[in-house]
Amino acid sequence: MPQNENNLEVSKNNEDMVVNTSEMENEQNLSIESTLSENSENSDSTSQSTQKNVQEPKKSKQKIKAEENILPINEPTTQTKSEFANNEVSDDEDEDEESKMIDEEESLNIDYSSYTKAQLLNEAVKASTLLAPREAIKKIQNIRTFLESILKDERNEQLHAFINEGNDEEAFEYKDDGTKQKFYEAYNLAQEARAEEKKRIENEKLKNLNAKNAIIDRIKELTEIDETTSSIEEIKKLQNEWKAIRVVPKQNLQELYDRYHFYLDKFYDNLAINRELKEVDRLKNRDIKIDLWKKVVDLKDELSLKKSFILLAKYKEEFKNTGPVPKELNEEIWEKFKNACDDIYKQKKEQFDKIQEKRLENLKLKEVLVEKARYYANYIPSKASEWKTNYEELNKLMDEWKTIGQVVKSQSENIWNNFKEQFNTFAKNRNEYYKKINNERKNIIAIKEDLCKRAEEIMHSDAFEETAKEFIKLQDEWKKSGHLAMAKSNELWTRFRAACDVFFNKRQLQFDENKNKETENLTIKKAIIKEIETLLNNDNIEEIFVKLKEIQERWNNTGFVPVKFKKKINDRFHNAVDSVYKKFHKNHENYKQAHLNEHYRDIASRPDGIKKLGDEERRIKDKITALKYEISTLENNIGFFGRTKNAEKLKIEFEEKIIKVKEHIEKLTKELQALRTAKNKA
């Protein structure tokens, strides 16, 4: 950071106020004397009673204000110098009001809120090289508020983009294009020039102090000798020299003023020259003061408040330093000049009030924009699209802000800072949101990368059924893992999909091979069914069942057939076997039992046959248990029947039901035995 970045404020308390026009122009401190004390003009009426007993004023130790720019003004007649000094001190408040109007006009001449970064830098550089140092510093300080706001916005945007790319905020480094450094180089240049200017002014003040003291000493010498034409000419020359000397140290101002007028009055009181000479001099002074009055009146057409008050101060000082006029015109000229000054002040005050009224209206409009911006700053959207929309709305508010005029100086910086604070709050909240999104994205990436690794670990497996289920599970987890930006999402999905394709392509090849094998098995099973059908023409029962058993074993050892033919081919097989059993088994139960055995052997021969037989075994056992419980319940209920006719009827029904249940249990028991036999042989 540039050395002077934190020392931008220049304290006005460290700068002396001066009363002459040169310093007003250089320092921009408008100081006009509140009282135009025409002591020389009043000397004729007071000299005879005072001149002989006057004492040279002592050096005053009291620190008083410089001769102030105060309106309205009243010209004293017999007012003493101490009273004059008191009036100067008491009228600071009016000067502050006037300075306030000038500061208001100066500070708001340019609205920098619509300037770009390059334009602001260019203005600062031009100010440091083209303007007076003090004006340059004030302008650069005003520019700095807007430039730093832009730089802060740039930093926030860079940080937002950095975080949005998935980076950690701690690793962020702001990329400055050198604007800030160039700006503070311009500011330092203005400060150095200001320091040199202040040093020069201080030296000039001391030099002028010595020169004015020398003038006073010379006037003192002239009061102690007899007046001559040459001494009068010298006094006039000394008066002109006095007017030409402007800047003096503030603390010496009152002392110089008192001593100068003391000896000047003393000199004129001692004059014993031709009254005509005095009258000629008074007529010249009359013309000068009337001209000054006209110049004040003409200020009504001056638009600039600053220029108006600078000229008004200049005219007042010239009026004050102009000698006496003819007595009969003294009051009239003074009243005209005073009233003109009052009118100009009133006019400029009205001009200022109108400007202030408009700026207060602008302040209210900008306060509304602040509240609108505050809404967007404090609202936390849940979607990136909403953040983008709100950002665009804030920029619209900024554009609207730039169309509104300036506000009063006292609120200018505050309202701007308040407005920009909403942008800063929005940027902070947006970065927090994207930081959270970035962390979530990292978690999603980690999850998806883990799914890729798990898929790659099993993609070459030959356990197609189990592995397929695992891949389906992985795909389901992938869907639930969350969404990513298109580029990263495509990258990870391509990797995951590649692992899936390896497995499922391999499985498909196996399925294609199995499909060919199943077609062959279908042909074999069709041939087996034809063999069974030929057994119906054989009369050798023993040979038939031996052959049938051998055929059934071949059937069971033959693999799968295409799914769409499975039921049809199995039904044909069982129908053919049933035909053989029905024809050659005299005992239906033996036939049925033999068929049941064949059924369970068929189930046992399947890939998942043992599991199915186990399930069937549990079902039969549960059914037998339930039937036994039913018999127990029926037998228990029979014991409660009495010997009535209805009771006997119910008893018979229950006993018949018990017999049927027992037959069912016997049947299930045989099924269970056949199932277990098939299960043990599998």
pLDDT higher than 50, residue 219: yes
d(CA 628, CA 626): 5
pLDDT higher than 80, residue 468: yes
User: pLDDT tens-digit profile of 10-19?
Assistant: 233 333 323 3
pLDDT higher than 50, residue 438: yes
Q: What is the pLDDT of residue 98?
A: 61
Q: What is the pLDDT of residue 589?
A: 53
d(CA 19, CA 449): 80
Where exactly are the structural domains of the chain?
A: 12-363, 512-681
d(CA 142, CA 134): 13
CB 475 within 8 A of CB 512: no
Lowest model confidence (mean pLDDT) among 436-450, 603-617, 638-652: 638-652
pLDDT higher than 80, residue 110: no
Q: Where is pLDDT greater, at 109 or 428?
A: 428
Q: Where is pLDDT greater, at 637 or 92?
A: 637
At residue 550 the predicted structure's pLDDT band, cuts being 50, 70 and 90, is: confident
Highest mean pLDDT among 6-10, 133-137, 588-592: 133-137
C-beta atoms surrounding 564 within 10 Å: 7
pLDDT higher than 90, residue 48: no
Q: Any idea of the CA torsion for 492, 493, 496, 501, to the nearest 10 degrees?
A: -150
User: pLDDT tens-digit profile of 382-421?
Assistant: 888 899 999 999 999 999 998 898 888 888 889 999 999 9
Percent of the chain's residues with pLDDT above 70 = 80
Report whether the peptide linkage leading into residue 72 is cis, meaning its omega lies within 30 degrees of zero: yes
Lowest model confidence (mean pLDDT) among 218-232, 308-322, 452-466, 494-508: 218-232
Helix (H/G/I), strand (E/B), else coil: 16: coil
- Rounded to 10 deg, the angle between the 39-50 and 253-269 helix axes is 60
pTM of the predicted structure, to 2 decimals: 0.46
CB 585 within 8 A of CB 644: no
Q: What is the pLDDT of residue 680?
A: 84
pLDDT higher than 70, residue 472: yes
Mean pLDDT of 113-129: 85
Helices (H) and strands (E) in the chain, counts: 21, 0
CB 483 within 8 A of CB 444: yes
pLDDT higher than 50, residue 91: no
Highest mean pLDDT among 82-91, 271-280, 617-626: 617-626
CB 548 within 8 A of CB 534: no
Q: What is the pLDDT of residue 41?
A: 36
At residue 109 the predicted structure's pLDDT band, cuts being 50, 70 and 90, is: low
pLDDT higher than 50, residue 186: yes
Q: Where is pLDDT greater, at 162 or 644?
A: 162
pLDDT higher than 90, residue 364: yes
Q: Where is pLDDT greater, at 10 or 524?
A: 524
**Nearest alpha-carbon partner for 16 in 331, 329, 246:** 246
Lowest model confidence (mean pLDDT) among 85-99, 369-383, 448-462, 498-512: 85-99
pLDDT higher than 70, residue 50: no
At residue 569 the predicted structure's pLDDT band, cuts being 50, 70 and 90, is: confident
Sign of the Cα torsion 559, 563, 564, 566 reads positive
Q: What is the pLDDT of residue 618?
A: 92
pLDDT higher than 90, residue 373: yes
User: pLDDT tens-digit profile of 614-670?
Assistant: 888 899 999 999 999 988 888 888 777 666 567 777 788 888 888 988 988 988 898
Percent of the chain's residues with pLDDT above 90 = 19
Q: What is the pLDDT of residue 592?
A: 58
Arithmetic mean of pLDDT over the chain: 78
Q: What is the pLDDT of residue 32?
A: 28
Mean pLDDT of 547-567: 86
User: pLDDT tens-digit profile of 292-316?
Assistant: 999 999 998 888 888 888 899 889 9
Where are the alpha helices (H) located in 299-408, listed in sequence order?
A: 305-321, 327-378, 384-403
Q: Any idea of the CA torsion for 47, 49, 53, 57, to the nearest 10 degrees?
A: -50
